[in-house]
Chains A and B, each alone.
Chain A
Amino acid sequence: MAKVLVIEDDEGTAEEIVTALGDRGYMLDRAADGADGLQRARAGEWDVLVVDRMLPELDGLSVIETLRSEGISTPVLVLSALNAVNDRVRGLRAGGDDYLAKPFALSELTARLEALLRRPAEPRATVLRVGSLELDLLSRKACRGRRELELLPREFQLLEYMMRREGQVLTRAMLLENVWNYRFVPQTNLVDVHIGRLRRKVDSPDEPPMILSVRGLGFMLRAPA
């Protein structure tokens, strides 16, 4: 089971995160300040770090920068109350792998952690396959079995993102950020509409569905059982 180190100074937030991740079976440890967090991050073998940006003694970005300068490449999810684009860019430039602004839903945190833990195994692959679904990145063709799918450019991108993260819960915010490169949450159900259109093309009525809605969380693509 994945080992997660949570570096968060706020007792209440840390407790909620630890409880939520513990319920999902993660092995957890917690540090309440930057210096302690840095020490624990160096000492243990962690699969992922959850680092609050504003910490006493040593701020979160300094912790990440120090770890990166020492060659420790453990994935880091940065938590922060600062949500301007510049703050986000600063967090990622310091070495963070993903950035989650407070307040956040615990399901969003979990989904992003899982995405960090299960990064695409072969980022350079030119043909992606999930069950009978195949996506050729060079010829820009998509097929489910023998049926060729006619996808718009954005639908192609969306499907590629989902296929690279097969079996992972993808939240609406993650899709907006990574497929459309948008940092805002629209008022309408934009993502649902686009997913719905893609689903109609991928899952025909006589086929078992591959694009699934996960209630209260987002979406998931996986091969039919």
Chain B
Amino acid sequence: MAWGLCCVHLPEYVHSITFRWAVGVAGAFGVCTLLLFGFVYWQTAEFVTAAVDTIITADARVNGASTTSDMSRFIRQYLEDDPRRVKLAELFTATGTPSAGNVAEMPPGLPIDDMPHSARLARLDSRGRETQTARVIARRLSSGEIFLVGHDTSLLRQVGQVVTRALALGLLPAVCLALLTGTWLSKRAQRRIDEMNRRVQRVIAGEFKERLPVGGYDDPLNRLAKIVNDMLDRIERLIGELSSVGDDIAHDLRTPLTRVRAILERGRNNAQTLDELSEETDRAIAGLDQSLAIITALLRIAEIDHTRRSAAMTTLRLEEILRAVHELYHPIAEDKGIALRFDLHDVAAVSGDRDLLLEAVANLVDNAIKNTDRRGD
């Protein structure tokens, strides 16, 4: 017979963590149920055995001191009152031959020690011979005979059967249900992940408007999808702002760059001397510096808008910033005959970026001085 390797392709959901959890939970549930039912059976068996032992021990004590003929009579009376055929009793001769009772032979290996033991023995009565499992006590009488008294324990077997049946009826459907639920949940999760993957691939391909599907429940996948969607919103906004900054720069640069180009062109065509050319070149450099200042300013605005510099945020006193700006601009204002006063009361500390705030206030004052007439206020 030839053995070949067989490659079984398992469905993808079988490898999912949800399915593995389901299998794990089903397994743990099965083990717990087995332990529980085993405990119930063990306790029941203990209880039944103890009860039977009490009965046969009492029977063995009552009849312990009787003579042979009395023993035979008692055994007959004892066995007559047994409609369920659970009682066992026998009087064996010293050589082990049964003389009165319903046990066909002495169970091999049974200790004759007046203590209860489990044994399988042959019941022989008017209905014939039958093997029974029982708890029995064997004791040797003073005459040398052996008195055996016992009680059938087939109840234990029945209890075992009931427990096994209950186990089969309860455990198997529960495990199957757990596995089916696990499979369903895994397939459902797999479908959602496949859908998420498809959409993420579209985002990777550049479709920044794509979003992950979010269901109505507050489960981990939905929470993750919401987080990713928030992130995509932010990325889309940033890309838009970046594009806007680029557009702003392009727009604001056209004018000064056109001017620079015109200056250079005029210099090349019209300059008669080196000094004239140098003059035009200086003007072109000034124009380029202005263009660079525009780029820097627009990037700074974008930087402030994006609050990229939150790391530089500290608690600072506005008074110090305003005082510094006043000190910086006071001479300029004075030169222009403009009064620049510093008047401040009870300004609270704020959380901010010193450099950005300083620049913002400085720009305000700068513009104010530039656009105020001489001797203004």
Residue positions of A touching B, CB distance < 8 A: 83-86, 103, 105, 154, 180, 182-190, 193-194, 197, 216
Contacts and interface: CB of A to CB of B under 8 A. Distances in A.
Would you list the 5 A-B pairs with minimal beta carbon distance, nearest first?
A: A184-B359, A193-B332, A193-B331, A85-B355, A197-B331
B128 to A, nearest CB: 101
B180 to A, nearest CB: 57
A186 B362 contact: yes
Interface in B281-340: 282, 285, 289, 292-293, 296, 300, 303, 308-309, 311-312, 324, 327-329, 331-332, 335
Nearest to B300: A184
Nearest to A152: B327
Contacts of A197: 331
A216 B283 CA distance: 12
Given A182-B355, A183-B359, A187-B367, 11 more contacts: A84-B303, A84-B309, A85-B312, A86-B311, A184-B358, A185-B293, A185-B296, A187-B366, A193-B331, A194-B331, A216-B282
Given A83-B296, A86-B309, A154-B327, A186 B335 contact: no
Contacts, number: 52
Interface of B: 282, 285, 289, 292-293, 296, 300, 303, 308-309, 311-312, 324, 327-329, 331-332, 335, 355, 358-359, 362-363, 366-367, 369-370
Nearest to A185: B293
A190 B332 contact: yes
B92 to A, nearest CB: 101
A180 B328 contact: yes
B240 to A, nearest CB: 21
Contacts of A103: 292
Secondary structure type dominating chain B contacts: helix
Contact of A188 (B300, B311, B370): B370
B329 A190 contact: yes
Contacts of B289: 105
Secondary structure type dominating chain A contacts: loop
A154 B328 CA distance: 9
B370 A85 contact: no
A174 to B, nearest CB: 16
A193 B93 CA distance: 138
A135 to B, nearest CB: 20
A188 B300 CA distance: 18
B312 A86 contact: yes
B332 A187 contact: no
Contacts of B335: 193
Contacts of B296: 83, 185
B336 to A, nearest CB: 10
Contacts of A186: 362-363, 366
Contacts of A105: 285, 289
A185 B324 CA distance: 15
B369 A85 contact: no
B331 A85 contact: no
A103 B366 CA distance: 24
B40 to A, nearest CB: 70
Contacts of B332: 188-190, 193
A194 B327 CA distance: 10
A187 B362 CA distance: 10
Given A84-B303, A154-B327, A187 B358 contact: no
Contacts of B355: 85, 182-184
A162 to B, nearest CB: 17
7 contacts: A86-B309, A103-B292, A180-B324, A185-B296, A186-B366, A187-B370, A188-B332
